[in-house]
């Protein structure tokens, strides 16, 4: 299993304790970063990066709403 480095900003961490939607924002950030890392791992290249080792192409994406109990 791969290890991922998750980056969170101070505003997001502060929002965990001061706003109702803080946990939802945290979950959103973590999931987005994990999904991005998985795509980079599968393709062998970062977004907009052109390399000889690249294994595929991105088709693009658009924002989606994830509904959870959080």
pTM: predicted TM-score of the whole model, two decimal places: 0.67
Backbone angles phi, psi at 44, to 5 degrees: 80, 20
10-residue stretch averages of pLDDT, the chain, 70 residues long: 77 78 82 88 84 80 76
Total domains in the fold of the chain: 1
> Which pLDDT does position 70 carry in this prediction?
61
> Which pLDDT does position 1 carry in this prediction?
55
> Which pLDDT does position 2 carry in this prediction?
67
8 Å CB contact between 46 and 40: yes
Look up the domain containing 41 and give its range: 1-69
């Amino acid at each position: 299993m791969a290890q991922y480095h998750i980056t969170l900003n101070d505003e997001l961490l502060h929002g965990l304790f001061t706003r109702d939607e803080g946990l939802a924002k945290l979950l959103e950030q973590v999931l987005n970063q994990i999904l991005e890392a998985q795509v980079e791992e599968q393709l062998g290249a970062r977004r907009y990066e052109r390399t000889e080792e690249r294994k595929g192409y991105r088709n693009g994406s658009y924002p989606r709403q994830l509904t959870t109990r959080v």
